[in-house]
Every structure is written in structure tokens, then in C-alpha cells.
Amino acid sequence: MTQERIALVTGANRGIGKEVARQLAHDHGCRVLVGARDLEKGHEAAKQIGRGASAIQLDVSDPASVTTAFAMIDTDYGRLDILVNNAGVDYDTDQQALTADLARVHRAFETNFFGPWATTIAAVPLLQKGQSGRIVNVSSGAGAINEMSAGTPGYGISKAALNALTLKTAAELKPQRILVNAVCPGWVATDMGGGGRPVFEGAKGVVWAATLPDTGPTGGFFRDGTPINW
């Protein structure tokens, strides 16, 4: 009998993360853990999502928070099947690379790059105990070297680094059949994005990568299930 899949979505109290969590719960029958820096906001989001969703305090930029969260997952569930590294900050359209506030860029990297790296390291032992392990790194076309231009230096370069991490971890986890992919949800109407297509549409591509069959791709960069250039 197939077990209910356990999925952790970081930064899931709003925006794309919340919608990814909702789709995983409602459309794929997952037990979803709503990762949120503010636990109260996480509880509210989990209540709105329903279908057994529950909140977990998780600030991906805080190593102690990451350690505590994954210890709780291990205690409560003993495994993890899906990790969606969605938490992201500071779409810095007001900055240029040559005049950037580097302290601000460091803060962006802590959440957009080192955070997913830390959660991936913490998640792998639990994914190894799970079934059909999947890691999805929510990236952006702003991090695509092929299309990169001026502006958004902290956000764009941190997402380029996240793409590189995707390739490294996918290669290392391929023998264990844990699939790792990066997904660009496109320009989506969230608080950070400020416009674009409905959140539902952007989230669908993330959910697609989180629920790939065992024969699915790994080490790829996708938008709406279609490969895009790095």
C-alpha cells in the first residue's frame, strides 16, 4: 500500500509557496508541511489550505531553525518525500551590480542560496527514508546566465548560484534516485513579483517537478514543464 507522501514547502505562508502547498495537498494527496518564519502566519496558511496541512517554524537563513525543523520532521514522520525550496527574498530591481549594497546582497544570498543548500543537506537523510524523493528549487529566469543583463544583482546572482547547486546536488543524488530540478515559475502576481500571471499558473510548474515519476528528469531547469536555458 502506498504511503501518504510527506512534502515540505519553505516560505509557504503566502504567494507561490502557499499555492504549491495547496496543490500538493488537494490535487496530489500529500501531507503538506507549511514552512514559515512566522509560525502564526504558517498556522493561518495551513488552516486555509486544509487537507491536513500543518505549519512548521522554519527560517531557512537560520541554521538553528533548520536543525530544529528537520529534527521535528524526523520525530513526527521519520521521513520526507518532497522538499520544495521556495523561500526567497529581495527582488532588487532598484540596484545595479556596480553600486549594490553588498550587505543587502549577503542577506539575499542567505535566504535564496545558502538557505536551500542548508535545507537540502538536512533533508537528504529523510528523503533517503522516503519514497520517490524529490527536491525542487524555485529559481527564476533572472538567474539564467543565458539571459542575464543589468539589474537585480542580488536576486539574479543568488538564483544563478541556486541553479548551480541544483546541478551539483542532482548529480550526487542521481544514484539514489532522488530527483533534483530547478523551476522558474515565470513572472507571477505575488507581493514580490508585483504583477504577471496568476499564482496558480506559476505554481503548477513547481508541483509538476515535485510529483515527477521515477523516470522523470533530474538536473534540469524548467518553466511550465518545459526545459529552459541555464
What digits encode the pLDDT tens for the residues 12-47?
A: 999 999 999 999 999 999 999 999 999 999 999 999
On the CB side of 159, CA atoms within 13 Å amount to: 28
pLDDT given for residue 64 in this prediction: 98
Q: Looking at 155, 208, 221, 222, which residue is catalytic?
A: 155
Per-residue confidence (pLDDT) for residue 10, from 0 to 100: 98
The pLDDT confidence band at residue 195, using thresholds 50, 70 and 90, is: low
Lowest mean pLDDT among 2-6, 19-23, 188-192: 188-192
> How far is residue 185's CA from residue 16's CA, in Å, rounded to a whole number?
8
Report the candidate in 156, 146, 56, 174 with the shortest Cα–Cα distance to residue 112: 156
Write out the three cell numbers for 175: 544514484
**What tens digit of pLDDT does each residue of 109-145 get?**
999 999 999 999 999 999 999 989 999 999 999 999 9
Whether 177 has a pLDDT exceeding 50, the answer reads yes
Instruction: State the pLDDT at residue 226.
Output: 97
Q: What pLDDT was estimated at residue 127?
A: 98
Q: Is 91 a catalytic residue?
A: no
pLDDT score, position 1: 47
Lookup: cell for 48: 486555509
Beta-bridge mates of residue 85: 137
Mean pLDDT throughout 77-97? 97
Top CATH class of 6-227 equals alpha beta
